Amino acid sequence: MEFNKVQDLIAETLGCDAQQVTMEASLADDLGADSLASVELVMALEEATGVHIEDADMEHFKTVGDIMAYLSSHKE
């Protein structure tokens, strides 16, 4: 999935400005994702990409770059 699409999805789900969503941005510290928002984000990513994300894998998502790396390594 292209970064721009993931960027828009994260901004929409977390209610932040898309310009804040960079590869280095921390989901919690920079974008304000709490545990509920993280679950909502994973559900949105799964729906948009068709990639199932395990709960254990979700815990490793600290930055936007972590999400991009996961999606690129798990695309069908």
The CATH classification of domain 3-74, taken from the options 3.40.50.2300, 3.40.50.150, 1.10.1200.10, 3.40.1350.10: 1.10.1200.10
Which residue from 11, 28, 37, 12 is spatially nearest to 66, judged by alpha carbons? 28
Q: What is the dihedral of CA 53, 28, 25, 17, to 10 degrees?
A: 100
Catalytic residues, which ones?
34
pTM score: 0.92
Are 13 and 41 in contact, with CB atoms under 8 Å apart? Answer: yes
pLDDT tens digit sequence for 42-61: 999 999 999 999 989 999 99
pLDDT tens digit sequence for 2-43: 999 999 999 999 999 999 999 999 999 999 999 999 999 999
Q: What is the dihedral of CA 64, 30, 46, 51, to 10 degrees?
A: 20
Write down the pLDDT at residue 75.
77
Q: Domain extents for the chain?
A: 3-74
Give the residue ranges of DSSP H helices in 1-63.
3-14, 35-49, 55-58
